[in-house]
Structure 1
Amino acid sequence: MAEFLIDANLPKRMAFWHDGSCEIVPDTQWHDSRIWRYARQHGLTVVPRDADFERLALLEGPPVVILLCVGMANWREIWQILNQ
């Protein structure tokens, strides 16, 4: 069962996104509010690189957000950061 909702603007090729604990946002056109509602309804922790989710977490409460502050890092740089 998935625990984390991986935002569409993160690289989908990361192996650890595909271990059953993560669900990737299915559509890059989903607005932040739709992602937020989906995560809340399914009890998922949102994993974005977008600071807009930090604002939603502070204003609206659950779900939990793990904000990846990686700037414009490419997928290799993100892999190096997360694989430490």
Structure 2
Amino acid sequence: MLLKDLDPAIVDYSDNFDGSCQEPSVLPARVPQLLVNGSQGIAVGIATKVPPHNLKEVVAGLQAFITEPSISDADLAEDRSRP
């Protein structure tokens, strides 16, 4: 799912750490993996935890975005609860 659209016409490529090859600068996801699965970790002494969201609410948000691509963040979050 993350590697589906790695076409150079869709995703920008940049040099890897030593310049020996090109790698995608982002992994395009068809589904917002961070919201669905959540994540936690510590980096640079700062801890973070993103809890998993309700799948039905994520899908409802995706449907709202597909229906109205210019929807504002406030309108998108209006009818959705948060974890």
**Structure 2 length normalisation: TM-score?**
0.25
**Structure 1 length normalisation: TM-score?**
0.25
Q: Which has the higher contact order (CA 8 A, sep 6+)?
A: 1
More strand by share: 2
Greater Cα radius of gyration, structure 1 or 2: 2
More helix by share: 1
